[in-house]
Every structure is written in C-alpha cells, then in structure tokens.
Structure 1
Amino acid sequence: MKLTDALPTLLLFTVILFCGTACEDGNDERFSFTEEVRIEGDLNTIEIPMTRTNWIVASVTYFDGGIMTDEYGYPVRLEGMGTVRFHWGSIIRDKSNALTIQVDDNFEGRERTMIINLSTAKGLYSEQIVIRQEPCTNFYQIESLVYTLEEGDGIKEIGTQPWGINWIDKSTDNEETRPINLFPFYNAYVIYNFEYEVSEPLQNWFPQEESNHVQIPKDIVNGKIIFEEEKRPFTYRGLYYNELREVSFQKDMVNQKKNSYRADIYYKRLSAHYTLTLTRPGSNTKKVIQGKLLKDYPYDCSPIRHEVSDLTGDE
C-alpha cells in the first residue's frame, strides 16, 4: 500500500480514537456549571446540580493546599454514593446527578473555606468547586443552667500547693526586726471547668460576654447547693480571685538578712453535674448540653514557716 493511500485511513482512525477518548473522559463538558458557592453562617444544606454522572470527589483541600481529613483522620474522598463527614460538615452523594454539602454553624469568627476537587475515576479530567461559609451572626443564648448532685459529686480534699516568698530588708534603722504582712492566698485562684462532650468550645457560641455568665456553686450543705453572689463565664476553663485573697498574716522580718517565708495552701474540689439549655433568637431550635462542673479552690493554709539566712554577695 502506498503511503498516500494509507494517510486517509490513519487520519480517520486518529479522529475516531480522539472522539472516543473525549467522550469517555468528558473533557468537553464540566461536571457542574457551579464553580463557587457561598453559604450563610448558620447550619445549612445546599445541593449542587451536576451535568454528568461519571465523577468522584477525589479530595478536598484548603486554600493553602492542605488536605482536609474526615472524622477518622483519612483524606476526604467519595468515589460512589454515600456520605463523608469532616470537622465542620458533610459531603453527601445520594443521587448520581447532584452533590450535597451540609455545614455546621460557623462560630469560628471568620470565613470557612474549602476546595472540592472532582475528577473522573481514572483522573483524566478534573475540576474544582470552591465552598465559602460566612461567619455566623445568629448566636445562642443560655435559657437555663440546672445543677444536680449525682453519685460521686460533692466536696473533697485534693491536696496542697506550695506558697513562698523571699524578702530582704536592707534598711539602716536600729530595729533588729520589724513586722510584715504576708498574703499567701493573693495569687491562689479559684479554677473551674465546665466539662462537656462537644467538639468545639461552647463559649464561641456566645458573642457578648455578658450573655454567657452563669451561677457557680460556692458550697454544698446537706445536699443543697449554695451559689456565689457573682456570676461567671460559662467556659471550659476559667479562673478568678478567691475570697481569701486579702487575708494576711503578720510575721517578723529580720533586718539585713534574707527572710524566707513558706506555707502549704490547702485545696478542695467541688463537683456537680449540670444541664445547659440553649436557644437562638427567631428559631425554635434548642440545644441541650449535659456535663460536669469541677471547681478547685483554696480554703486554708498551714502555719507560715520563717527561715533566716545571711546575705550573699549577689543579694
């Protein structure tokens, strides 16, 4: 066969092969005409129509190129029908011609973004859909916080914490000693924890500081909870000054010597269970969170020990 006779056949074969590949891979048409989606900050679900059915979710990435992982720590990927959950939402495919995105409330205080990378099964064609979720502006409010005493709750001793201070008096008066007031509880804070089984800090759900203040138990007497006068922020870990802060003890201080004062601060722990009910303005939705409050607080100290030593050249 002459070369000139073979050329038409070869060109026809090439065209057929190219068309077959194009039709198989679908390079002539996007999976979806949607390239970017903006979602409001509240809990939301959107459905993205797809023009074709031969697509998979190959991966999900952040804008900086980082790979998003699912609830089990694996890279997000969805090759057929099903649902994959990531830390602030879900990607759902329950029909061949649609992609559903479900997002949680965005209480992070900034826009959340991700890039869904779609491709054919063989990866010969790919495209992206950008998802942006605005910050939430409709925050929760505390409707009620109810404490209960269950097994293991109450007040118990939890040990001691050391306190100490060194004091040097280089005054030149004639007094060998003079009195000094010591405040061992001055920086001995009350530390409390509202424990709960929620994936994100609940205090992010309350934008105004005054809206998340709740009663804190002060004491438990004969099975009854006595509350403090001042309310405190509902938070996973909070602290505040204790009522013993201004309590002082008078000791002698020796002039021209190093005076070391030491004591042990005694602590107790108050524990109680709670049920927190949250509501949102303009919505009938309520959230009920159950957990446990732990509060560690100083209540007494040992006698203050006083040690006197000579000054060194550096003192």
Structure 2
Amino acid sequence: MTSSNSSIEQLASFYVSGIPGCEDVQHFISIPFCVLYLIGIVGNCTVLHIIHTDKSLHEPMYYFLAMLSLTDTGMSISTLPTVLRTFWFDAKEIEMNTCVAQMYFIHTFSLMESTVLLAMAFDCYVAICDPLRYSSNLTPQRIVYIGVFIVFRCSTLLPVVLVHIPTFSFCHSHVLSHSFCLHQDVIQLACSDISFNVLYGLFVVAFYWGVDSLRIILSYALILCSVLHIASRGGKLKALSTCVSHICAVLILYVPMIGLSLVHRFVEHSSLIIHITMADIYLLVPPVLNPIIYSIKTKQLKIKSDKKTEFLPK
C-alpha cells in the first residue's frame, strides 16, 4: 500500500533542471538570467506605457507593436517562476498540474507571437503596397477584431493535447531537460502511447508556425515586388527600412524555434547543453531584443524614450 501511494506521488511531479555540471555556481549563473528577465519585462512594459500614454502613437503599427510587447511579457512571466526557483533555491520539483499550466502558457504565447508577427507583416504589406487605403483597411475596429482572433486562435488549440498528459504513466525518469515545462520535453518521459501528442504537435508546427511563416514570406515577396517598381533608389531604401525591425523580430523568433524543434525531434542523442541553450534562446531572447530593436529603428518610440530621460538628474 505504501509502495503504491509512493508511486502515485511520484507520478504527480516532475523535476526541472538547471545547467548540468554547474550546480555549484548556479547562483552566479542566475545573474545573467535575472538581467535578461529584467530587461525583457521592463523594456516591453515601457513600450506599452509609451504607446498607451501618447495619443500620437495610436496608429495600427503601434497597436500591433503593443500586442507583440504583451505577448513577449507573457512569455517572460510564464518561465520566470521555475527558472528563478531552480537557480536561487535549488527547488526543482514541480507538480503535474502546475507543469501542464506552464506548458499551456509558454506554447500559447509562442503561437500568439507568431500570429502577431503575421499581422505585423500584413500591416507592412498594406503600408507599402496599398498606402492610399491604409487607414480604411486597418481601422481601430478591425485591429480589435484581429487581436480577438489572435487570442482565440492560439488559446483554444492546446487544451486538446495537454489534457492527455495527466493520464500518462511516467515509469522512468521524471527529470526534465529544462528549467521549465515544454510539451515535447515532457512527452518524451512518458511510457504511454504518445502518438496522438506527437502527431498533434507536428500538426501545430505545420499548420500554425508553418502557415504563418509562409504567409509572412508571401507578404514580403509582394512587398519586394512593389518596392522594385519604385523609381528612386532613396524611395526603395526608405520603403524597405520600414520593415527592418519586423524582419529582425521574425528571425529572432523563428530561427531558435525551428532549431529547438529539430533538436527535440531528430537529434535525440545530442548534448543536453544544446537542448538547454536552444530553449533558453527561444524563450528569453525575443522578449529582450524586440523592444530594443523597435526602440532603435522606430523614430517616434526613440523620441518618446529620449524625452522620458531628458529631465533626469545627471
């Protein structure tokens, strides 16, 4: 009876991991993580505050940027508790339901970020290819509809697959590869039939990430065709410069995500450090770099940020 109860308790928990081989210095390793989280959360909250308080920024481009900042903030907050618990207090146990909830928020915000970037690609397309109808195509009401659609599209997808995880048996290791719960990491520890989860995961990658990326590529193909018809070289450069921030945001999200997916599915025996590094880059780097990139490349945001620091004591 005692053995049975012990087994049930074990099945109710997982154990997240820090960086293998660095347990003695994990308090020092937590410093760069804390800095990244601080930069990401403060940077995105600053962008949101500037857009909210300055009515001159109440335009489609900045509404989409606010959506991106909200999504980035959600991604950071989703992983923050378990990462800092692991490095600060060496508290690695995480209950099954908590792990599933964290998976839901991490993957939902990741899907939302991809969809927001698609919406921003459409914004760039309309601004460059059909500027005369920009205001009529992207009215505030339509942007609200787009935001609601993004939330609905991404938040209703994952419960279908995550609801199965508490029913799985985990008869081997309960130690995860990361400091947070990822779907592809958890199901690899299951002894049950995980074929549905694997196929559904591939469907999500193909239908959501794949379709979003193809539509973004199509948008830029149309943008490039339109730009090539601009007579002046200066006009071409000016049109393309409006897309630089968005292209950077797309690359810093998609490249680590594709790399992490490939590592988990096709390179099972690769170094654990590679898995950990790819996952950390995938979840930590976009929230940190996006506000920096947009603040540097977007003239209005840069001006507002400078004004906020203009009257600080020197």
TM-score by length of 2: 0.21
More helix, by proportion: 2
Greater relative contact order (Cα < 8 A, sep 6+): 2
Question: TM-score normalized by structure 1?
Answer: 0.21
